Amino acid sequence: MARSSGHVAYVAATVPMAIVVTVLCLFLANNVTHARRRPATYIVGDEFGWDLVIPMDSWTRGKTFYAGDTLVFKYDDLTSNMVVVNRTGYENCMANDGSKEYDSGNDRIQLPYGDSYYIGTYNPYDCAAGLKMAIKALAN
Residue 51: is its pLDDT beyond 80?
Answer: yes
CA 66 – CA 43 distance, rounded (Å): 15
Q: Compute the 3-state secondary structure of the chain and give helix, strand, coil in percent, each to the nearest 5.
A: 35, 25, 40
Out of 2.60.40.420, 2.70.98.50, 3.10.150.10, 3.40.50.1100, which CATH number does the structure's domain 41-138 have? 2.60.40.420
pTM: 0.73
* Minimum mean pLDDT range among 66-70, 95-99, 112-116, 118-122: 118-122
Tell me the residue type at 109.
I
CA 5 – CA 110 distance, rounded (Å): 65
Burial of 96 (0-12, 13-18, 19+ CB in 10 A): middle
Please choose, from the candidates 71, 23, 28, 34, the residue with its C-alpha nearest in 3D space to the C-alpha of residue 50. 71
Q: Where are the domains of the chain?
A: 1-35, 41-138
Q: Residue 140: which pLDDT band, with cuts at 50, 70 and 90?
A: confident
Q: Residue 122: which pLDDT band, with cuts at 50, 70 and 90?
A: confident
Q: What is the mean pLDDT of residues 81-110?
A: 95
Cα 49 off chain centre by: 19
